Structure 1
Amino acid sequence: MCDIGGDGFDADGLDPDALLWVRGVDYLTGWRDATRAAAELGDALAEAGVDVAAAKLRAVSAADGSGVVRLELSPATARKVAKLARVAAA
């Protein structure tokens, strides 16, 4: 499920599931979980020294009701996050 203001289009074209609400699917629970996870990720990125003003975190619900966190970064910020992940993995 697309977030409010989403258009249902992605890199592969139209996603019909992103435009429809299915009766009986609990989208709110997934969205709430994704909202909490996005806040947690934003806090962790900030603590690691990432400029969160350069990051865009969005909580949405997938077509099946599960939560999804979308992260958009500038190339420079993505490189910094990649470097932090490599350091943490080492």
Structure 2
Amino acid sequence: MGDGDFTGDESDLDAVLWVRGVDYVSGWRDAKEAAAELGDVLTLAGVDVAGVRLRAAAGADGSGVVRFELSAAVAREVAALAREAAARCRKAG
């Protein structure tokens, strides 16, 4: 699970436009922690994280952003887990 390498083919204009006075580092740190937390939870849930890529970034306003990229197979796996969790919440409520 990558979190910030600059080897991708995609171009993100927000990643290269910096505004003086905006604290991008704090937002990036927050996103990095959130991405690690999400990765840990996915692992605990039994998701094959080999098909997952989490990248920390900062938005134009400095807020943290987590880019979540996953294979179609893993997307279906995560959807099934979310469906099961939603069903359990409905039964409990």
SS in structure 2 of the partner of residue 20 of structure 1: coil
Q: Distance in 2 between matches of 1:21 and 1:7?
A: 21
SS in structure 1 of the partner of residue 67 of structure 2: strand
- Rg larger for: 2
Q: Which has the higher strand share?
A: 1
Asked if 1:80 is matched to 2:77, the reply is: yes
Aligned to 2:45: 48
Q: Percent identity at matched positions? A: 69
Question: Following TM superposition, by how much is the alpha carbon of 1:18 offset from its aligned partner in structure 2, in angstroms?
Answer: 3.4
- After TM superposition, the score normalised by the length of structure 1 is 0.82
Are 1:57 and 1:71, in contact at CA under 8 Å, matched by a contact in 2?
yes
Amino acid corresponding to residue 9 of structure 1 in structure 2: S
Runs of 4 or more consecutive aligned structure 1 residues displaced over 6 Å after TM superposition: none
SS in structure 2 of the partner of residue 68 of structure 1: strand
Aligned to 2:61: 64
Unaligned runs of 5+ in 2: 88-93
Unaligned runs of 5+ in 1: none
Q: What value does the CA root-mean-square deviation take over the aligned residues?
A: 1.8
